[in-house]
Amino acid sequence: MATLVELLHDRATVPTAVVEHLQRLVATWGVLSDLSFSDLLLFVPAAAHPGNFVVVGQVRPTTSQTLYLEDLVGHEVTGPERPMLPRAWSLGTVVEGELRAAARGEPARVVCIPVRFSGEIVAVMTRETPYGVGRRPGELERVYVGVFDRIARMVAAGAFPFPLEEQLSSEPARVGDGVMVLDASGRVEYASPNAVNAMHRLGVYRGVLGSSLEELGLERSPVSLAYRDLSPASEELELGEVAVFIRCIPLLDQGRLTGSLVLVRDVTDIRRRDRLLLSKDVAIREVHHRVKNNLQTISSLLRLQARRLPQGEARHALDEAERRVRSIAVVHEILSRDTADEFDFNDILPSLVRMAEDLSSTARPVRVTWSGDAGLMGAQVATPLAVALNELLQNAVEHAFTACPALADAQVHVSLTRRRDELVVEVRDNGAGLPPGFSVDSTTSLGLSIVRGLVSSQLAGKIEMLSNGSGTLARLAVPVTRPERDDIARI
């Protein structure tokens, strides 16, 4: 389904500021639909067919039956089909009437409200109500429709939606959550049963009618702010475990404050869920911490065992195994510090570099430096990458300078280049170069076989190694995509 922005772009000619105005309208109009017990449609003139209008938005009431089961967004209507539309558009005033065959041949009552922005009519919002259905009008219905009419007049006057409507917290509130209507002095004129319940949850048990929220003991209510700035304000009030989200929308008539609509939503359950998620993040960090500790224990065991062996191949192999385990531990160490799903690979570089430098002998020290930014990535990329980079660094330190013991300035440099979805890691040394006939694709030695395996299977990337007379260059290119939340759970 096309979005509002796409439709306005493809099917109409509307400047950006107008698009934003209509987006703000549509972001809050669920409440308007509920208050009017009606479907709302938003029309703009069709660019390709003068005289026609295209539906760019549709919302159904949660307080009543809908007139339209079908999705009307993207539909085009002609002027003669809906004569009220061009009238509201050209007169710039609210036009009411009947639509003979609105849905399934049933007639409906239609109110066309011109949407004004910066003095111009930019769209027409229609309120479409079936005859016959609907609730027996009681006080609630009268109050709600009354508020709708006040807001509709603001829409026609260009005073609603508000210019800098802050984004609503989680989901936009709907009327079913609880509604209060306040007068121009901030006193409660009407409170819906759900609003009264929410007030009870906040410890307000006495009758709310006739009092201001402050008088009822809700000191941090957003009402005074909304009344001062003549723009919507929100506040989340808490009492123990209970959390209630309150939003105050001022009602204006020709710039004058006449009262306000206050939406009251009990968000206790949502906050409880947030807290659970937060503790899940903490749990994930704790798991990383334990994994790191276990890996460090394994690496210590390998080191102890290596020390008991005489110098030689077996001891060397255990030392290498120890460092491989340690390079994975480094990743978990970083993951255990932060709750973020992604982390910067540059954070683990210092540890890898130190491990490589420690490997060089004091007689022939090798300096390892790095430059560039790897950027953010998930652990599913960082872990194999850390292991692979560790192998390349070890090789440079171990092999590049053995044949040229005279080299005074032995250097290894790691450079990281991140292009959108690809990371290139280069390890360059100024040593003797690769042995004659060497090919990274065919070597069967363990270290580079591990690197090849990780790069091709786990990282879906490429590896190259070449000598150019003044040392060796090893280059890894790996795709880096943002991790999904599910991946995190699997790490």
Ligand X SMILES: Nc1ncnc2c1ncn2[C@@H]1O[C@H](COP(=O)(O)OP(=O)(O)O)[C@@H](O)[C@H]1O
The least CB distance from residue 2 to ligand X, in Å, is 55
How far, in Å, CA of 481 to CA of 435, rounded? 35
Q: Which residues contact 124 (CB under 8 A, 6 or more apart)?
A: 42, 43, 44, 53, 85, 88, 89, 112, 113, 114, 115
Residue 395 interacting with Mg ion (CB under 5 A)? yes
Q: Which is nearer to Mg ion, 39 or 320 (CB)?
A: 320
- Of 30, 161, 384, 431, the one binding ligand X by CB under 6 A: 431
The least CB distance from residue 306 to ligand X, in Å, is 15
Q: Which is nearer to ligand X, 277 or 314 (CB)?
A: 314
Q: Tell which positions 398-417 bind ligand X, by CB under 6 A.
A: 398-400
Residue 178 interacting with Mg ion (CB under 5 A)? no
The least CB distance from residue 320 to ligand X, in Å, is 7
Q: Which is nearer to Mg ion, 447 or 471 (CB)?
A: 447
**Stretch in the footprint of ligand X (CB under 6 A) among 7-15, 288-296, 339-347, 434-442:** 434-442
How far, in Å, CA of 360 to CA of 457, rounded? 30
Q: Which is nearer to ligand X, 242 or 309 (CB)?
A: 309
Report the DSSP beta bridge partners of residue 234.
Answer: 247
Residue 472 interacting with ligand X (CB under 6 A)? yes
The site string for Mg ion over 446-465 (x = CB under 5 A, - otherwise) reads -x------------------
**Stretch in the footprint of ligand X (CB under 6 A) among 133-141, 275-283, 336-344, 429-437:** 429-437
Residue 153 interacting entry, from Mg ion, ligand X, none, C-beta within 5 to 8 Å by type: none
The site string for Mg ion over 325-354 (x = CB under 5 A, - otherwise) reads ------------------------------
Q: Which is nearer to Mg ion, 251 or 412 (CB)?
A: 412
Q: Which is nearer to Mg ion, 199 or 385 (CB)?
A: 385
Cβ atoms of residues 4 and 26 within 8 Å: yes
Residue 443 interacting entry, from ligand X, Mg ion, none, C-beta within 5 to 8 Å by type: ligand X
The least CB distance from residue 394 to Mg ion, in Å, is 5
Q: Which is nearer to ligand X, 340 or 446 (CB)?
A: 446
The least CB distance from residue 471 to ligand X, in Å, is 7
- Of 434, 455, 480, 491, the one binding ligand X by CB under 6 A: 434
The site that binds ligand X (CB under 6 A) totals a number of residues, namely 17
Q: Which is nearer to ligand X, 182 or 410 (CB)?
A: 410
How far, in Å, CA of 380 to CA of 458, rounded? 8
**Stretch in the footprint of Mg ion (CB under 5 A) among 39-47, 162-170, 305-313, 441-449:** 441-449
Neighbours of 273 (CB within 10 A): 11
The site that binds Mg ion (CB under 5 A) totals a number of residues, namely 2
The least CB distance from residue 401 to ligand X, in Å, is 8
The least CB distance from residue 484 to Mg ion, in Å, is 34
Q: Which is nearer to Mg ion, 33 or 395 (CB)?
A: 395
Peptide bond into 310 cis (omega under 30): no
The least CB distance from residue 467 to Mg ion, in Å, is 16
The least CB distance from residue 422 to ligand X, in Å, is 23
Residue 443 interacting with ligand X (CB under 6 A)? yes
Looking only at the bridges linking them, the beta strands covering 411-419 and 367-372 are parallel
Residue 469 region, left (φ>0) first, then alpha (ψ -120 to 50), else beta?
left
The least CB distance from residue 374 to ligand X, in Å, is 21
The least CB distance from residue 465 to Mg ion, in Å, is 12
The site string for ligand X over 380-399 (x = CB under 6 A, - otherwise) reads -----------x---xx-xx
In the complex, which residues of this chain contact Mg ion (CB under 5 A)?
395, 447
In the complex, which residues of this chain contact ligand X (CB under 6 A)?
A: 391, 395-396, 398-400, 429, 431, 434-435, 438, 443, 445-448, 472
